[in-house]
Amino acid sequence: MRLEFINRVKPGDVIGKSILSNEGRVLLRAGVKLNTNYINKLTELGVFYVYVRDERLDDVNVEDERLTELKQVTIKSLSGIMKNVNNVNSKELKESLNRVEEMISYVIELGDVNKSLYDIKTFDNYTYIHSLDTCIMTAFLGIASKYNQWDLKEMVIGAILHDIGKTKISTDLLNKKGPLTKEEFEEVKKHTIYGAEILKKNVTMPDSIIKVVEQHHERVDGKGYPYGLTGNQISRFAKVICVCDVYDAVSNDRCYRDKFKSNDAYELILSGSGTSFDSNVVANFKNTFSIYPLGSCVRLSNGDEGYVISQNKGFPDRPIIRLLYDVKTREPIPFYEIDLLKNPSIVIEGVV
């Protein structure tokens, strides 16, 4: 399947990966044939790209039905927690977090970053899918960082709950188009404190998880918030989640800004090593995640365009590309592949 911007999708294209709502319902299931009404509705919902099936890329498969089911249950549980945050009890929260653990166990067993991430975000489900993808990224990065299963369990719970404090912030403020005033930004920053207060007040939660919620915007150079902590003053779990949170956030369009280009989002993390982010975490990040998702269409420095079909581990910007059409005429060609690791003179210039 291929990953296409919504303005390049055509009636007759078939959805390749299910799209979930903010309550865990399937908005459009994999296999549904798109028509003009569906495309217009997805555009209204703030969808910027979708996976569509393509027989020329049938070996690129990022849909996993079991994982989709587990994500549905997880989002539904998370939605319940967020909507009843002041009334949630320990039993309800434990049951919800058990769903998270079940999903993460499957993700770890699956062991495929490309199948686990890159869920389609809409205007409505952004907070939930962002928390979900941050949680899954945290699991993979935690494994790469050699955390044991107990630490990993607490860290992914902290990741799924990291933005729970935003339930105390006005939706209008969170979704405001354009820059925030100084006063508005100060209020948004309080979501870290609000989140910690919610967990302390309503449920029994390990201090390590509360610190994640409170500190995931702290930076190792002391320029983060809410307390301006530095270095080892910051929770080791928060340092991991901080990287995942920032990378997923800037990789997606929001109502107040366009998403970063894929290489720019990646560079933001790498350039922040030792200043914004812990250098060891960034090193593990580089060896765990790739810049360009499977199925995405990229433009190469030699003028060709093609689709990412495989990654080269340890070389996040050097995937294997399959070329399907002539760039000038857009006519299909007998497809062939370029391994960028074996062709160092060719680089990716951007996503198209």
Is residue 60 classed as helix, strand or coil in its secondary structure? coil
pLDDT tens for 57-116 read: 988 877 778 888 888 888 888 877 777 766 666 677 777 888 888 888 888 887 676 666
Tokens of 103: 């999903």
> Contact, 79 vs 43, CB < 8 A?
no
pLDDT of residue 308: 93
Dihedrals phi, psi of 184, to nearest 5 degrees: -65, -40
Question: Whole-prediction pTM value?
Answer: 0.84
Cα 212 to Cα 191, 209, 311, distances in angstroms: 12, 5, 31
- CA separation for the pair 148, 142 (Å, rounded): 9
- CA separation for the pair 84, 143 (Å, rounded): 32
In sequence order, what DSSP letters do the residues of 175-229 get, joined into one string?
A: T-SSPPPHHHHHHHHTHHHHHHHHHHHHS---HHHHHHHHHTT--TBS--SSS--
How is the beta sheet containing 320-325 ordered, strand by strand?
Answer: 332-339, 320-325, 305-310, 297-300, 348-351
Residue appearing with tokens 């093609």? 306
The parts of the chain modelled with pLDDT lower than 70 are 85-90, 111, 113-117, 202, 252-260
